[in-house]
Each structure stands twice: as C-alpha cells, then as structure tokens.
Amino acid sequence: MELPISKGPVAKWTFENGPINKLSWPNLEKSLVNLEQVASVLKSQDLLNPNTICLSKWMIAGSHQVVNSNRVEKPTITFSFNSLNSYPELILQCRSLIEEESVYPLTINLLGSGMIKGEVKNFDVDNLIWISCTTLEIFRISIMTQSDVWLPFALDGKPHEKTFKLNEDRLTNALSEIQLLTGFKLEEGQECDYSIINGFRIENIRYSDGSIANVL
C-alpha cells in the first residue's frame, strides 16, 4: 500500500551535514552532488529511479545565512530528466537559474518510481522512495517512503509478511550504505504518523493491548 505524498511519509530518515554559512552557488552545487550520491545508492537497489527534481521555498542568494536573507515569492520550478546520466546537465541548469536571478532554493525534492518485490512478480510504483533536501542553519537530506512494504503488517493492520520479507533488507542496506558513503549523521528521534522508526528499520504502531493498529 502506498500513500500520496500529501498524506505525509510512512517513514523518513534524515541525515545532517553541518551548517550552511552562505546561500551561494558553491553550497547549492555541493548539496546537489550529495543528492546525486544518495540517489545513486537508492537506484542501485531499484528503490528510486529518479525522473523529476523540484526546487522551492526561495530566498535571495548571497554571502549570508538563511536567518539574514529574505524570502522571494517564486513558484516551484520543476526539471524532468531521463536518468542520472543527465544529472550534470541538470546541475548546469540550476546554476544558470541561481546566477541569473540571484535566488536560492531552501528545498529540493527528487522524485521518481521504485520497484517492489512481489511473490509472483515485481512491480514499479511512484514515490516508493523519494528524497527531500532542506537548507536552514543545517543542510539535511531526508529519505522518505510512501509505502508500507517495509512493515510486517500493512497500514490497515493486515499481515503481509511475505512481501515484508522480500523487501525489508533492501531499504535497510541502502540507508546503511548512504550513511557510510556520505559520512552524514543520522538525526535521532524521527517520528511519523504511520510507523515507529527504530534505526534503519520501522515497526507497526500498536494499540494499548498490543494488537496492530489500523493507522489509515
């Protein structure tokens, strides 16, 4: 079962990479490169085949921090691409935008489709995994999932153990590899409305009597 993004993620893992001291192109370029690294790991597990990047929440660019900058009323800008092979071209497009308009996006979302392993056959779903990068005082990358296949029970409380067993280690292994590759620190204490996050795994929410909750 997959939820629309508007309903919030089933689970998320946020990695931190230190303070951002300037809303400048070099810092944005570094963020985009980090985003590509994370996406490459997820793609290697068939968890995310990215095809869309969205830039939003604009500030005036310059040699200052977010707290000392000003918001810019500018709509979300979306770029579509076929594969990560075209990512360098995408970075150039972003640079042109930043330098021409002197703006800086505080949020970058990378969207696409991912594969769920099934008992009979595998199938692709949109936003199985997606990535959101945010720049405030600290740069953060959040890996989100809209699916319950990483849980022993579906969001409606029904068991789907075979699907869970086929898929659970794929995401756990990818998250471990992302932390090892980037050296980013995992933010502790993450909370979601649909699951309990325990390290790189998630558990179903339970009622007070111990039974599995229907969280839909």
Condensed to tens digits (0 to 9), the pLDDT of residues 100-156 reads 888 888 899 999 999 999 888 898 999 999 999 888 777 889 999 999 999 999 999
Residue 213 lies in a domain: no
The reported pLDDT for the residue numbered 190 is: 77
Phi-psi region of 23 (alpha: psi -120 to 50; beta: other; left: phi over 0): beta
The reported pLDDT for the residue numbered 210 is: 85
Residue 210 lies in a domain: no
Quote the CA–CA distance of 17 and 144 in Å, as a whole number. Answer: 17
| Residue, of 98 and 108, whose pLDDT is higher | 108
| Total domain count, the chain | 1
Residue 212 lies in a domain: no
The amino acid occupying position 36 is E
Residue 214 lies in a domain: no
Residue 13 lies in a domain: yes
Give exposure, 78-95, as e/b (b: 16+ Cβ within 10 Å): eeebeebeebeebbeebe
pLDDT digits (tens, 9 = 90+) for 142-198: 999 999 999 999 999 998 888 899 998 999 999 999 999 888 888 877 788 889 998
What's the start-to-end Cα distance of the chain, in Å? 11
Question: What separation in angstroms does the CA of 102 have from each of 97, 149, 195?
Answer: 8, 42, 40
Give the pTM: 0.88
Residue 131 lies in a domain: yes
Residue 121 lies in a domain: yes
Residue 63's domain comprises: 5-203
